[in-house]
Chains A and B, each alone.
Chain A
Amino acid sequence: MRRLMQGNEAVFRGALAAGASYYAGYPISPSTEILNVASGWAAEHPEFGFLQAEDEIASANAVIGASLAGAKAFTATSGPGFSLMQEAVGYAQKVGVPSVFVNVQRVGPATGMPTMPGQGDIMQVRYGSTGDYTPLAFYPNSVAEAFSTTVLAFNAAEESRSPVVLLSDTFVGHLNEVVDPEELAAAATVAPRELAPLGRHEFGSPRFFAGVLMYEHGPNAGEPATADADEYLRQYYAAKHRHLEVANRYALYQHGWNVDAQTLVICYGIVSRVAAPLAPDYALFRPIRIHPMLGDELRAIAERYEHIVAIEANDGQYADMAELTLRREVKRVPLLGGRISMEALRAGLDRVLGGGPAEPPIPLAPTEAVERSPLGIG
């Protein structure tokens, strides 16, 4: 039945459709509705595991434990919480724990602007934990897409045996749109769990899931490999190739608006919705799979356009990646401080296409007390 649904709730419903049976989280704006909905669901469905943890570190590690125990597990947070989860994300990368981490972004760094939308965690997803790894991340821009992309994130997590990040933002999370959840759920294909749960290993000796480098097979199985670069290479590239192969199955993006225009606008998440009035005059490239970078896809599209402009609610994080990929200039329109408005967007576009700088004119400091924000400090 068609009904109004909020973006954050759609993430939870999508997770259920994907087979999720465990949620751990800690309240943080603007992701809290996911925690609320999960707790309500768990109260009515005792088979669904739920934990309101003492912090995001515990949430992330509980997701790891639940997943190894056999549940499809996820957590949701915002930037500051995601920072706290980074060590666990690295552990899940190293050990190969299928899991989903939802990051409903707000304006950082630190506590920042808790109720305002931002996209400042694109690079945190890519490089936030220690060491090298190949993360997969998706970013929807509507309620229906939040549902279906969550299903994909769970599937990609199972197939790649890795922590997959689902990005969102204050506005996508708080959008209310009419969707048909039954239809969306019926359309979902669900990847099965292949990793045998704890206590159910199928052959050999009992497994030892470790964040430290260990020999997993062969004559040295069970011994530490902490000084063996060869073993590091074997395990590192096995994981990298596995993740890239799975990522190739989900090379999701949108190339649209006026595809014959001279300028290609790159934007994603809520910015791509706000930018819709640009449709008559600009072409759109909207990556849905944010990581790994859609290299071949973007290269093939970009060569048709004279200018490329990335409009993001950060200081050019995707633009940096696009520039490296394309090896040509990508102009930047940063929409900072939560001001994702058509006015700011148009002004920025005109500025950079007219040869001006990415940096907007800095407003003068107020001489009088500003009116208190109706949104409070969250």
Chain B
Amino acid sequence: MAETALAELNYKSKLKLALFPTIWCPGCGIGTIMMQLAMVLDEMAMDETNTIIVSGIGCTGRMGSYMQFESVYTLHGRTLPVAEAIKTVRPEMNVIVVAGDGDTASIGGNHLVHSIRRNVPVTVLCNNNEIYGLTGGQTGPTTPTGTKTLSSPSGNPNTPINLQGIVRSSPHALYAKSTVYHQTHLRNAIREAIEHPGFSFVDITSQCIENNGRRIGFANANEMLTYYRKGYKRAPKDADTLGPMEIGVLRPEAERVGNGAARPLVVEAAPAVETPRPKAAPVDDEEKARKRAESQQKLALMQKLSPETKVRVAKGEISLADALLEAGVEEGPA
């Protein structure tokens, strides 16, 4: 049992734990995104030889520095041109962009529009916290109308940008919407986005309690997560648009209609220069279900530990089994 639980901690090998704790504020949602991304990358056998992380400026941009991957921390807003060029030069690599809503949709908005037009085969994880957090809490492109921020003291007068509409303007792009509360959904969405051969975009609602949440009436991060839990619903499987409070994955039209028909690839693989594009190890449904169950069990066990011990386990200073013993906690049925 203890060994299985430890195996579930494998994703930690995708993180530079020596640099922990991170610079992010207590209660920030970015850590959840990073954890889920690390889990997916671990699941898909992605490592530093086949995957590049490109990040933008802002709180989210620092994610690249905490991950065991070669990473480019670009100028503000410029993730996509950098990512596209990397993918062109090294088509065998998986290129994953992590950036906030400001970086992606405001200063980088033009690149977003055109990367979608060119169906650049990269995956964008957009940490959509609806605020400029790093600079203290100014209105961002996704800030809801009426929200009071440092730069809109009488409420944001503008309509937030329609990321779904922009991404879905291309018949080839995949758009997924999730939240940091819906972790399994988020993980599956990230995986599907990475597996999508064209442009894919995961719009992840997450909480910025320090520089947004508190100002708009939430007492703590937990209240924001509770709000996500109660507010967001899964869209029907065949939905072709998501409502403002729906989560789901919108696949490109060609794929939905063709049901397995050949997907259009934009960048043809160059004559084999390096290793071929790594494919994730095939995981059947049974295996998935088993892994999921193990993961949930391990999470439940972790919850029984004190926060200090959790950090020690996460850093690998102590095994989960030992930590449980030390804390005098029953492991429960395997």
Q: How far is B161's CA from A307's CA once the two chains are assembled, in angstroms?
A: 62
Of listed A22, A54, A91, A207, residue having the most chain B CB within 10 A: A54
The answer, yes or no, to whether B19 is at the interface (CB within 8 Å) is yes
Is A211 in contact with B73, judged by CB distance below 8 angstroms? yes
**Does chain B have a CB within 8 A of A65?**
yes
| Chain A residues within an 8 Å CB radius of B93 | 69, 198-199
Contact string against B for A residues 327-353, beta-carbon threshold 8 Å, 1 for contact and 0 otherwise: 000000000000000000000000000
Cα A71 to Cα B48 in complex, Å, equals: 19
Q: Does A223 contact B (CB under 8 A)?
A: yes
Q: A61–B89 contact, CB under 8 A?
A: no
Q: Judge whether A51 and B75 touch: CB under 8 Å.
A: no
Query: When the two chains form their complex, are residues A65 and B271 in contact, meaning their CB atoms are under 8 A apart?
Result: no
Q: Contacts A47-B270, A222-B19 given: A198-B86 contact, CB under 8 Å?
A: yes
A130 to chain B, nearest CB (A): 11
Chain A residues, CB < 8 A from B64: 208
Interface residue stretch chosen among B31-39, B77-85, B144-152, B203-211: B77-85
Across the interface, A58 reaches (CB within 8 A) one of B65, B81, B86, namely B81
A46, B271: Cα distance in complex, Å: 8
- Residue interface bits B104-128, CB-to-A below 8 A is 1, else 0: 0000001101100000000000000
- Digit string of B149-165 for contact with A (CB within 8 Å is 1, else 0)? 00000000000000000
The residue from A49, A91, A198, A201 contacting B88, defined by CB atoms under 8 A apart: A49
**A199 and B90 contact, CB distance less than 8 A:** yes
| Contact with B49, one of A22, A58, A66, A200 (Cβ below 8 angstroms) | A200
User: B268 near A: Cβ within 8 Å?
Assistant: yes
Q: Does B297 contact A (CB under 8 A)?
A: no
Inter-chain contacts of A61 with B (CB < 8 A)? 74-75, 78, 81-82, 85
Taking residues whose C-beta sits less than 8 angstroms from the other chain, chain B's interface range is 35 or more
Known: A87-B75, A208-B64. Is A62-B48 also a contact (CB below 8 A)? Answer: no
Q: How far is the CB of B45 from chain A (nearest CB, A)?
A: 14
- Which label, helix, strand, loop or mixed, suits the secondary structure of the B interface? mixed
Q: Specify which of B16, B50, B78 is in contact with A205 (CB 8 Å cutoff).
A: B16
In Å, the complex CA distance between A63 and B86 comes to 9
Interface centre among B67, B72, B74 (most CB of A within 10 A): B72
When distances are taken between beta carbons in the complex, the residues of chain A under 8 Å from B322 are none
A152 within 8 Å of B by Cβ? no
Asked if residues A62 and B70 are in contact (CB atoms below 8 Å), the reply is no
Q: Which residues of A contact B74 (CB under 8 A)?
A: 61, 64, 91, 211
Q: Is A164 an interface residue (CB 8 A)?
A: no
B70 lies within 8 A of A199 (CB): yes
Q: Which residues of the other chain, B, contact A49 by a CB distance below 8 angstroms?
A: 85, 88-89
Contact between A197 and B90 (Cβ–Cβ < 8 Å)? yes
* Interface residue A68 (Cβ < 8 Å from any Cβ of B): yes
Q: Can you name the residue of chain B whose Cβ is closest to the Cβ of A196?
A: B70
0/1 per residue, A32-54, Cβ < 8 Å to B?
A: 00000000000000110101011
Verify A66–B72 contact, CB threshold 8 A. Answer: no
Task: Give 11 CB contacts A-B under 8 Å.
Answer: A47-B273, A49-B85, A54-B114, A61-B74, A61-B81, A62-B84, A66-B88, A71-B89, A198-B72, A199-B93, A208-B65
Q: A198-B90, A199-B90 are in contact. List 6 more A-B contacts (CB 8 A).
A: A51-B88, A55-B110, A65-B82, A66-B85, A68-B86, A211-B73
Please name the 6 residue pairs, one residue from A and one from B, whose CB atoms are nearest each other, closest first: A65-B85, A65-B82, A210-B73, A62-B85, A54-B114, A66-B85
